Amino acid sequence: MGKIKYLTAYLIPLFGLLTFSTTGLLTYSGLIFLYVLVPVLEMVFPPDRDNLDATERELAKEDFFYDLVLYLMVPLHLYVVYYFLSTIDEPGLTTSDIVARVLMMGTILGVIGINVGHELGHKTRSVWKQVSAHLLLTTAVQNHFVPYHNGGHHRDIGTPQDLTSARKGDNFYLFALRSQIGGYFKTWKLEAQRLKATGKNPYLNPMVLFTLLPLLLFVAIYFAFGEYVLLCYFLASVYGITILESQNYFAHYGLRRKLLPNGRYERVNARHSWNSDHIIGRVLLFELTRHSDHHHIGGKAYQVLDSREESPMLPYGYPMMLILSFFPFLFKPIMARQLQRYGIE
């Protein structure tokens, strides 16, 4: 399928439009696709560990198509958000319809708003990509994500300093609170340190703007659509953030960097992130599932991420791991076996 396979990711916002324009069983079509069909298919079809060869890699790096797929997702995502806001309070909706719509909106905020925002946010030298990233992240109430992810998580992964690296035995829900709330406040500190190191005014902390943007969005929703719609969107954003924290949780669960005799931690490598080569999750999430290589070489474009031999592998694809993380009594023994399989204490 080549590069065309990444257009599959557009199924997610399109399922959102279907969800927000229907009632009854059809309202659950997107959720059934993502949370039932995809996990089942990923258990049926074997993972694809193939990497691009040297020639294909160079061509992919220069091919604007891969950026275009991300760029076009921005206006589509913004329209999907607007469509949700315009339809969530229409008369005749049952409680079941509303729940389905809120969960689907939350899924879109997590998978498109945060994940595509994450990919664009890594391109720190491109103003357009940074603006596009923050447009997406504003809808997901996660503008602090980019500075923490780039300046904190990638540097401190697998150490006690990283709030988004789950330790073995961590409860997901406590981890999510620690990661989200702690990460927000730590980003203020990281940005202040960055400004000081570059000789810039510490009072020009971009976290002021990153805090105001989601608040302004909520105010705009309140005045344009009312408090009920705002409540529904707030709940959707909470679920979107939960998806983000689930990925943070299982992508590094139990993987720690060694503290060296010189007091520093070993360099980040592919063994410090769990990998998944299940093809459906790979294309739907723009190769986020090849997380080991993403951290091994930070900022590497999604289309050239590799499956590395030394990477520890998740037992299932990302959608199934997301579901399992919500149930600690299932997740922990499964991952305990996986850690044991790779000789990780």
Residues 80 and 13 sit within 8 Å (Cβ to Cβ):
yes
State residue 77's pLDDT score: 99
Per residue in 69-109, pLDDT (tens digit) is 999 999 999 999 999 999 999 999 999 999 999 999 999 99
Per residue in 49-69, pLDDT (tens digit) is 999 999 999 999 999 999 999
> 124 pLDDT exceeds 80?
no
Rounded to the nearest integer, the mean pLDDT of the chain is: 96
CA 55 to chain centre: 30
Per residue in 289-325, pLDDT (tens digit) is 999 999 998 889 999 999 999 999 999 999 999 999 9
Specify the pTM.
0.96
Residues 283 and 5 sit within 8 Å (Cβ to Cβ):
yes
> 189 pLDDT exceeds 90?
yes
Half-sphere exposure of 36 (CA within 13 A, CB side): 6
Is residue 326 one of the residues assigned to a domain?
Answer: no
> How many folded domains does the chain comprise?
1
State residue 231's pLDDT score: 99
Is residue 108 one of the residues assigned to a domain?
Answer: yes
R_g of the chain computed on alpha carbons: 20
Is residue 290 one of the residues assigned to a domain?
Answer: no
In the structure encoding, which two tokens stand for residue 199, read together?
């000789």
Residue given tokens 């997610």 in the structure block: 12
Is residue 13 one of the residues assigned to a domain?
Answer: yes
**How far is 340 from 53, CA to CA, in rounded Å?**
33
Q: List the one residue out of 112, 120, 129, 144 whose CA is nearest residue 215.
A: 144
* Structural domain that includes position 147: 2-244
Residues 192 and 186 sit within 8 Å (Cβ to Cβ):
no
Coil, helix or strand at residue 5: helix
Q: Apex CA 72: angle with CA 67 and CA 78, to 5°?
A: 135
Label residue 158 by pLDDT band (50, 70, 90). Answer: very high
Label residue 201 by pLDDT band (50, 70, 90). Answer: confident
> 1 pLDDT exceeds 90?
no
Is residue 345 one of the residues assigned to a domain?
Answer: no
Q: According to DSSP H, which parts of the chain are helical?
A: 11-20, 29-32, 38-44, 54-62, 65-87, 95-108, 115-121, 127-139, 145-148, 154-156, 172-177, 183-197, 207-225, 227-252, 279-284, 291-296, 318-325, 328-341
Question: Poorest-confidence range of 6-10, 123-127, 225-229?
Answer: 123-127
Is residue 131 one of the residues assigned to a domain?
Answer: yes
Per residue in 221-262, pLDDT (tens digit) is 999 999 999 999 999 999 999 999 999 999 999 999 999 999
State residue 305's pLDDT score: 96
Coil, helix or strand at residue 265: strand
> 345 pLDDT exceeds 80?
no
**How far is 12 from 112, CA to CA, in rounded Å?**
8
> 203 pLDDT exceeds 90?
no
Coil, helix or strand at residue 245: helix
Is residue 112 one of the residues assigned to a domain?
Answer: yes
Is residue 8 one of the residues assigned to a domain?
Answer: yes
- The DSSP call for residue 109 is I
In the structure encoding, which two tokens stand for residue 292, read together?
């080991």
**How far is 247 from 197, CA to CA, in rounded Å?**
31
User: How many residues comprise the chain?
Assistant: 345
